[in-house]
Amino acid sequence: MTTPHNAANPGDIAKTVLMPGDPLRAKFVADTYLEDVKCYNEVRGMYGFTGLYKGKPVSVQGHGMGMPSIGIYTYELYNMYDVDNIIRIGSAGAIREDVKIMDMVLGMGACTDSNYAYQYGMPGTYAPIATYDLLEKAVRIAREKDQKFFVGNILSADIFYNPLGSTPWKEMGVLAVEMEAAALYMNAAQAKKNALCMLTISDELHSGKELPAHDRQVSFRKMMEIALELAISL
């Protein structure tokens, strides 16, 4: 079945999907790493591709910016296309001083200033977390590839230009800020599916250093390769 946001037909999408925010990063992954690639979606410019990585089917699709956007795409993948595993491969801003540009962060939990959880009607505060099996395997693969990484809490923010800054989150040990993981983790929990957010640091809030847009699109190869190895291990 197709949806208003995805033109894929049943069977077009693999059980595991890698999801960057930028659809051009999805195209870069498909062009660089996958064989026998088929483009299954171009609706709204949100490219989706399925191909083979080391002989196993893997899909990669953009999800856009912010929790409403990733919320739509991941809900459809889990509930309408029977996807089992979604691995977000995104960029993030470092909050803690020891987290530097090009370091990798694995989001064990995702704090948020969003009201996304309101839809579930819970009588308290929900704590969105990654699927442990995916997290454990990602840690092992990152160590094998000698990639510097951190595991811990990240912040999924609704506000990109936040006048209040990140100091309160830093005081609570939050590693980095991005804009989507909490919604991904909540959608996975409700669908009883699996999710992990993998991030490469593209800028440092504590120093002002940042990568240009083109580097964000094509330079996160170590993270992409770890995510692909994770995908074919599932």
The residues annotated with a catalytic role in the active site are: 203
- Report the C-alpha gap between 114 and 206 in whole angstroms: 23
**DSSP run (H or E) holding 101:** none
- Report the C-alpha gap between 152 and 227 in whole angstroms: 18
Q: Give the contacts of 154 (CB within 8 A, at least 6 positions apart).
A: 92, 105, 107, 109, 110, 111, 174, 175, 176, 177, 178, 181, 197, 199
Computed from CA positions of residues 118, 179, 225, 29, in that sequence, does the dihedral angle turn out positive or negative?
positive
210 beta partners: 203
Q: What proportions of the chain, in percent to the nearest 5, are helix, strand and coil?
A: 35, 30, 35
Strand ranges (DSSP E) for 54-193? 56-61, 85-94, 104-112, 149-156, 176-178
- Report the C-alpha gap between 221 and 31 in whole angstroms: 13
